[in-house]
Structure 1
Amino acid sequence: MFKKLKTISSIIVCISYGFGQMPCESGFASVSEGDSFPCNDYDLISHIPISVLANTQGNPEGSDTWGWTDPLNGKEYAIVATTNSTAFVDISNAVNPIFLGRLDTNTSTSFWRDVKVYNNYAFIIADNVGAHGMQIFDLTILRDGIDSDLTFEEAEYPDRIKTYSGDGTGIQIGSCHNIIINESEAVAYLVGCNSANGGGPIFVDISDPISPTTIGNYTDSGYTHDAQVITYNGPDTSPDPNTTTISTYVGREILVASNGSFTNNDKLVFLDVTDKSNVVKISEITYPQPGYAHQGWFTEDHRYFIMGDETDEQSFGMNTRTLVFDVQDLDNPILSSTYFGPSTAIDHNGYVKGDRFYLANYRGGLRVLDISNIASDTNSMTEIGYFDTHPENDNTGFDGAWSVYPYFESGNIIISDIDRGLFVVRKSGTLGVDAPYLNNEFLLSPNPAKTSTIVSASKGQGVHAIEIYNILGKKVFEKHNINLNKFVIPTASYERGIYVIRINSTITKKLLLK
């Protein structure tokens, strides 16, 4: 009974203390609790605070985030790392997210907890926490819904939750700063670990996710803070014969390491890691005014690499700086352009999707940059939207948006905020568009609406019953025995936001009131 009461209490907390969808209007998404978030072309869908996501150990804060889409049913889940645990949230109905539970840290709290996904498993590491190891979590557990005590435990799922600390090869997995996965090759790369290799990449075969094996490591380029690994399909088909004997880089595993140092020797290092026992250093490049080389991401054509330095704003008083490297020749990368943002907020994690770069900009929140002109040396990127999760200011400081995940097919974007937890946002103008899996026998028009909207039935159908629910799940309207082809819903007296319209007790539609 206690576990059931605790679960119900948690659901109530999620509803009471999070805030639901609000469109971006006149530069702000204003919610009923009084918070007002600066924005441009991105709407707030939902939010769950850090006090719900994390447990009470230490001083709970948010860190990394990643996403998982269940291949069985297309449901989308946010995975949010915190200082003391990793939280799992069902956002398949993004207006009403469901906190399912958390996996607690193996040791103590850490400001740096990172997570990535491969083959329906989450792989989690943490830094500066002793013998933490790599936690492995079977994400299909989430299909069962909310955990009875909101804590997923290895003892509860002995064959589906594991910790990997090494396999006797001499390389122990204790604390690591980051994890990167090349999904096409089923290899995880652990970087910034406190092992004897000085923090260089450690290679782990995760083709059998629950039983990984260490298959090598690389030490020659020193400490790696973060990285990306791809199976290369870019323009460089003529490697330098003085560097390697291969005929082309296409099809090779290429690792780009962001090697921060705090010693003015910060650099990007390009490695061919295809042969884990014979890693080949391709090249490296430094850049002006380094603070701390932090993280970067390839464009989808593998022609450019976009990289952020975490402390240059703090060290040199500059606005947010993002560096673009032309890597059409992997043996000779060049700094091709530099983008400066509108504030002095620190850039953190950034990811590319199509011709957009999604940047977690700490106190500047999520910034969305158009990179369709990335070949230009003067205006390679242009800001086209944002959602600021830290409304107090956009100054230089370590608060606000830690990371962002823009890869859900639905178009929903998740932001992990250090102080405020999980945000789900979406490009403006798309909130009223029903997901493709919703029934098309009924139409809401207009949607978005202001004073009223009409439910219209297709030929052979009829509108017999209407129920309307607000974002808290409270029924605000109900009418039965309508028996018409069209029905006008009077919404003039309702507060703006998203409502769920239930038609004939079976069909569900979303309605946005502006």
Structure 2
Amino acid sequence: MTRLFAILGLLILVAVPVGAQDLTKDEIVVRVKPASITIPIGQTKQVEAEVVDIGGRPVKNVPVFFFSRNRRAVSVTGDGKVTARKPGTFKVVARAVVGRQRRGPSATVTVTVPFPEAAAVEFRNAPTRLYVGTSVRIGAVIVDKNGVVRNDLDAKLASDSDQVARIDGFGTVTGTHPGKTVIKASHRSLTAEHTIEVLANPVANIELTPNSTKVRTGDVVKFTAGLRKADGSEVTGVPVHYSLTAKPDDTLGNAATGQIEQDGRFVAESPGYYTVVASSGSAIARTTIRVVKRFKKQRKVEVIGRGSVTDTHTSDLWVWEGVDGRDYCVTGTWGANGVAHFWDVTNPGEIKKISSVTVDARTVNDVKVSKDGKICILSREGASNRKNGIVILDVVDPTNPKILSEFTTDLTGGVHNLFIDGHYVYALSAGRRYDIIDIKDPQSPKRVSSYQIFEPGASIHDVWVEDGIAYSSNWRYGIHMVDVGNGIAGGSPENPKKISSYAYPSGWNHAAFPFKSQETGKRYVVAGDEAFPFGLHTKDTPTYARGWMHFIDFTDLEKPKEVARYQVPEAGTHNLWIEGDLMYAAYYNGGLRVVDISGDLMGDLYKQGREVAWFIPTDKAGKIANAPMVWGPQPHKGHIFFTDWNSGLWAVKLSGDKQ
């Protein structure tokens, strides 16, 4: 009997909940129920989570929050209500909130959202007319009852008269004889029909001319096809198909070396001979051009000076001319103790730390200085009181920065990035929006407005303001251009108005920098990625980032178009700066990159040899030894200043002649 009571007592002891204060994050486990769920689009289901110790006993007073790995497809509330928005298989994570970093163990729920039943077949942007000897690809899609495209299904296409038009397995229709034909798209019992009239092709001759014959790799050449009838009269409105053949100088297994668009624009990646072909019906024209290497050799990057920081990770920088005429730089710190360092960089060869400011934060991720050089603002994340927000400094004398005020209202979730424009500060609020704060009186800042994307899973990473337009970087929702005083959409800092936006499939949009081409007048925004598919390592191990720079043509605000990229293999982008015809790119493990962005832009600028120079910083005494991790660049008075996450502040200069 005594033994029985002892066993019962042990069982009762096992069932007693454990206090969270008695355990570390390595001694607790998160359990979810169910571990996998299926939810139809538009419906919601509840997921439960509990925290237990390694023996399976419930642990008290450990909050758990839920988040989605793909918030546009599956959203989840903090308490586990999961809503399906798009079909596919996705992950929802339940994480325990433990310690100062509030990052404890987690468990994953697999969410399957089935595709709705197919309801109809539809033609999209199908032409009604076609000329003999020309081709067009017809789009036919399968949609569900809500009009959502079923990308997992393909419609079968057929022409009812191959004598008039033929169609291949990829949906390309080619006119063969004047007349009419009906194109039928089908999927099981669902069908749709579209009539195309094929017209006789009047083109007998083509005159093909380039706008330049002196061509370097990366130069965009515009080919114009003049169409004429047999009697020599001009023909308009008939499509022309462009193609090319290449004979590169390097014939040792070289891959595709050139690109031509159907508007006649051509660009080459490698030196060699390129023959552009224009055809319409039976008429064909060919023109050959010679392309030479863009630069005979790259320029060198010379290290001028350093402001070494190896005891903490370094974040962003800002370089400015002070009110006394000397040059200064402020740098932040990441995952440390809230320090910002101030440097005298008047002589870049003798960089001197002149002061430091410590604020209540773990990370001072962003630092900015007003145009007049009097005000510096620090962002805060990880404050002990969880208020975070921004800190406003008087830096008239950078050797003795003075805290004027702090602003934390509605910014308690942390400020990751900010920008100063005039007497307004644009500060990110917990990655949800940016708030616009009036600092005309820097000792009494006040919030005047905000801008937020109200879409499922929307979040923001950065904001940059130029000419009264705010360019925000919003991960999956891409670049948003907002009128905050430009006037193009009637906006102001007190009443921001959206102008345009552009998003790309990866959802990695992290930074943006606008510029107007000095040569073409086109307006671009360069959108930088940030991605760590192999993890972000904060100690001992180098980080191998991924991503590239996307060049988006915003000349037509109604139809922004991604036209070019700059992609360094096996490395990843962070921040950037553009001055004149040069882009200075922080490429994390790929170092500092300087790129020629002159003229029209198309294709992969890296493969085209537009890279002017590169530099990879290493430091055996770095926070992580010999692990380059370039954070952000800024050109200033003929030098390039940049911060490296592991080694601090650098000053370099391009050497060699400009080509």
TM-score, length-normalised on structure 1?
0.58
Write the distance in 1 (CA, Å) between the matches of 2:599 and 2:305. 32
Report the counterpart of residue 440 of structure 2 in structure 1.
Answer: 207
Distance 1:276 1:47, change over 3 A: closer
Map 1:187-226; keep pairs closer than 5 Å.
Answer: 187-191=424-428, 193-194=429-430, 199-221=432-454, 222-226=458-462
Deviation of residue 319 (structure 1)? 6.6
1:370 aligns with 2:612: no
1:203 deviates by: 0.2
Secondary structure of the corresponding residue to residue 299 of structure 1: strand
Residue in 2 that maps onto 1:162: 404
Question: In structure 2, do the counterparts of structure 1 residues 381 and 357 end up closer, same or farther at CA, with 3 Å as the change threshold?
Answer: farther
The residue type paired with residue 200 of structure 1 is R
State the shift of 1:223 in Å: 2.2
Q: In the alignment, which of 528, 538, 554 is matched to residue 327 of structure 1? A: 554
- Establish whether residue 267 from structure 1 lines up as the match of residue 478 from structure 2: yes
Post-superposition shift, 1:321? 1.8
Quickly say closer, same or farther: Cα 1:207–1:381, change in 2 above 3 A.
farther
Q: Could you say which residue in structure 2 is the equivalent of 1:48?
A: 307
Which structure has the greater CA radius of gyration? 2
| Distance change >3 Å, CA 324–CA 180, structure 1 → 2 | same
Residues 369 and 99 of structure 1, relative CA distance in 2, 3 Å threshold: same
Aligned counterparts of 2:645 and 2:410: Cα–Cα separation in 1: 32
Which deviations, in whole Å up to 9, do the C-alpha atoms of 1:331-378 show, x marking residues without a partner? Answer: 32111112222x311110011111110011111221101100343345
Corresponding position: 1:102 with 2:356 = yes
> Aligned residue pairs: how many?
325
Alignment check: 8 A CA contact 1:164 1:173 kept: no
Shift of 1:254: 1.7
Which residue is equivalent to 1:242? none
2:305, 2:652 within 8 Å by CA — same for their partners in 1?
A: yes
- Which of structures 1 and 2 has the larger relative contact order (alpha carbons within 8 angstroms, sep 6+)? 1
Among 604, 607, 612, which residue is 1:384 paired with?
Answer: 612
CA distance in 1, matches of 2:515, 2:534: 27
Larger % of strand: which? 2
Task: Kindly report the root-mean-square deviation, in angstroms, between the aligned alpha carbons of the 2 structures.
Answer: 2.8
* Matching residue of 1:456: none
8 Å CA contact 1:300, 1:352 repeated in 2: no
Q: Which residue of 361, 379, 385 maps to 1:125?
A: 379
Who is 2:565 aligned against? 338
Equivalent of residue 401 in structure 1, options 630, 633, 644: 630
Q: Is the 8 A contact 1:203 1:276 kept in 2?
A: yes
From the superposition, tell whether residues 332 and 349 of structure 1 become closer, same or farther in structure 2 (CA, over 3 Å): same
Task: Tell me the residue number matched to 2:134.
Answer: none
Paired amino acid for 2:530: E
Q: Secondary structure at the match of 1:362?
A: coil
Give the 3 Å change call, closer, same or farther, for CA 381–268 of structure 1 in structure 2. Answer: farther
Q: Is 2:417 the partner of 1:178?
A: yes
Query: Does structure 2 conserve the Cα–Cα contact (< 8 Å) formed by 1:180 and 1:227?
Result: yes
User: In the alignment, residue 344 of structure 1 is paired with which amino acid?
Assistant: E
Superposed CA deviations along residues 462-506 of structure 1, whole A, max 9, x for unmatched, are xxxxxxxxxxxxxxxxxxxxxxxxxxxxxxxxxxxxxxxxxxxxx
Q: Hey, what does 2:472 align to over in structure 1?
A: 257
Matched AA of 1:383: E
SS in 2 for 1:95: helix
Structure 1 letter corresponding to 2:329? A
Structure 1 residue 163: deviation in Å?
Answer: 3.1
Gaps of 5+ in 1: 1-38, 52-58, 153-159, 232-252, 431-514
Q: CA deviation at 1:132?
A: 2.7
Contact 1:300–1:353, Cα closer than 8 Å, also in 2: no
Asked if 2 retains the 8 angstrom alpha-carbon contact of 1:401 and 1:417, the reply is: yes
Aligned to 1:299: 515
* Matched-pair contact (CA < 8 Å) for 1:308–1:347: yes
Matched AA of 1:404: P
Does the CA-based 8 Å contact 1:79-1:88 persist in structure 2?
Answer: yes
Q: Residue in 1 aligned with 2:327?
A: 76
Check the 8 A contact 1:63/1:418 in 2, yes or no. Answer: yes
* Residue type of the alignment partner of 2:439: I
Question: Residues of 2 paired with 1:162 and 1:80: CA distance?
Answer: 19
- Relative to the length of structure 2, the TM-score reads 0.46
2:149 alignment counterpart: none
SS in structure 1 opposite 2:397?
helix
User: Counterpart in 2 of 1:437?
Assistant: none
In 2, are the aligned partners of 1:313 and 1:320 still within 8 Å (CA)?
no
The match for 1:511 is none
> Is 1:63 aligned with 2:315?
yes
Secondary structure at the aligned position of 2:396 is classed as helix
Q: Distance in 1 between matches of 2:609 and 2:549?
A: 9
